[in-house]
Amino acid sequence: MENLIRKAAADLKAAKKVVALTGAGISVDSGIPPFRGKGGVWEKIDPDYAHIDKFMEDPADVWNVLIKDMKILIDKAKPNDGHKGLATLEQMGILEAVITQNVDGLHQMAGNTDVIEFHGSFAWQRCMICQKRIETAKVDISEIPPRCQCEGILRPEVVFFGEMIPHEALFRSRRLAANCDIMLVVGTSAVVHPAATMPMIAKQSRAKVIEINPERTPLTGSISDYLIRGKAGDVMNDIIAQLQDS
Ligand code: APR
């Protein structure tokens, strides 16, 4: 592991355009569970609850089973060393942008200034009737589903399964993936597309793909050049320390 940290630090230092792709794993140490694997949300809740058809059919049920707890966890979550490490890479002039599948806003809170929210953002709710936007932190969840003053039901500005990825996020992510020379892939199981296609686009464009994850993923051994096995916070701390020593 030690020599992979040194290798990653050297690769990052020599790179011209570094982009990160992050997933739920980077927020695990901020108290937000992953979706898959040990302690994953989908072990306890049917993933159908994250499908737009389910929300349209019974918004109260989806709010009760999935969204309410998301709000409670995200409202109190703070960036961990994984997020802070990526922010430090930006401040060092190494990292250009973060493409995140997460909706928790922790990359922005950590200090990254160019964050593409591939699956939208949980920071805002939108009225299903008048489209008024309300900050999630200000939404009163004593009544479920929460409603707008016009009585419309509120929905989070996240991408449910069955919905399109925001065009701007998709197009910019593709362009960044096609033009980077390193893609850091942190804390994603790389099974949900089109997000998981970004490392393939990077590889096709001759970029180096570096994974940070305690586990192997479908990218490991095929798309990624190497996997640094570990928790995002620990690995990022080691990489930053190596960069500061060199
Ligand atoms: N540090 C780094 N990686 C971790 C950590 C950690 N501390 N803990 C777990 N992981 C890894 C797991 O090994 C797994 O590979 O993070 C990954 C989490 O995978 P998922 O839960 O599938 O999260 P993600 O890849 O972001 O899911 C993609 O699926 O359900 C949808 O919309 C949801 O955006 C999500 C998408």
Asked whether residue 2 falls in the same domain as residue 43, the answer is no
Beta strand 133-135 with 120-127 is: antiparallel
Is-above-0.95 flag for pTM? yes
pLDDT tens, residue by residue, 96-111:
999 999 999 999 999 9
pLDDT tens, residue by residue, 132-178:
999 999 999 999 999 999 999 999 999 999 999 999 999 999 999 99
Residue identifier of the C-alpha nearest atom 8 of ligand 1:
25
The CATH number of whichever domain residue 96 belongs to comes to 3.40.50.1220
Ligand 1 center from residue 21 Cα (angstroms): 11
The CATH number of whichever domain residue 46 belongs to comes to 3.30.1600.10
Residues with CB under 6 A from ligand 1: 23-26, 28-29, 34-37, 40, 101, 119, 187-189, 192, 213-215, 217, 231-232
**What six digits make up the tokens of 69?**
């707890």
Range of the domain at 126: 33-76+122-158
In a mutational test of the pocket of ligand 1, which residue from 81, 188, 217 has the highest number of ligand atoms less than 8 Å from its CB? 188
Asked whether residue 71 falls in the same domain as residue 89, the answer is no
Q: Is the pLDDT of residue 113 over 80?
A: yes
Query: Predicted confidence band at 246 (pLDDT cuts at 50, 70, 90)?
Result: confident
Query: Tokens 């065009």 appear where?
Result: 167
Q: Which of 107, 119, 167, 193 is catalytic?
A: 119
Asked whether residue 205 falls in the same domain as residue 238, the answer is yes
Query: Predicted confidence band at 48 (pLDDT cuts at 50, 70, 90)?
Result: very high
Ligand 1 center from residue 93 Cα (angstroms): 27
Asked whether residue 131 falls in the same domain as residue 243, the answer is no
The one-letter amino acid code at 235 reads V
In a mutational test of the pocket of ligand 1, which residue from 21, 26, 28, 164 has the highest number of ligand atoms less than 8 Å from its CB? 28
pLDDT tens, residue by residue, 29-38:
999 999 998 8
Ligand 1 center from residue 150 Cα (angstroms): 37
Total domain count for the chain?
2
Asked whether residue 2 falls in the same domain as residue 67, the answer is no
**What six digits make up the tokens of 20?**
């990160």
User: What's the CA gap between 204 and 27, in Å, rounded?
Assistant: 28
User: What's the CA gap between 108 and 97, in Å, rounded?
Assistant: 11
**What percent of the chain is modeled with pLDDT above 70?**
100
**What percent of the chain is modeled with pLDDT above 90?**
97
Beta strand 120-127 with 154-158 is: antiparallel
Active site residue 193: no
Asked whether residue 199 falls in the same domain as residue 243, the answer is yes
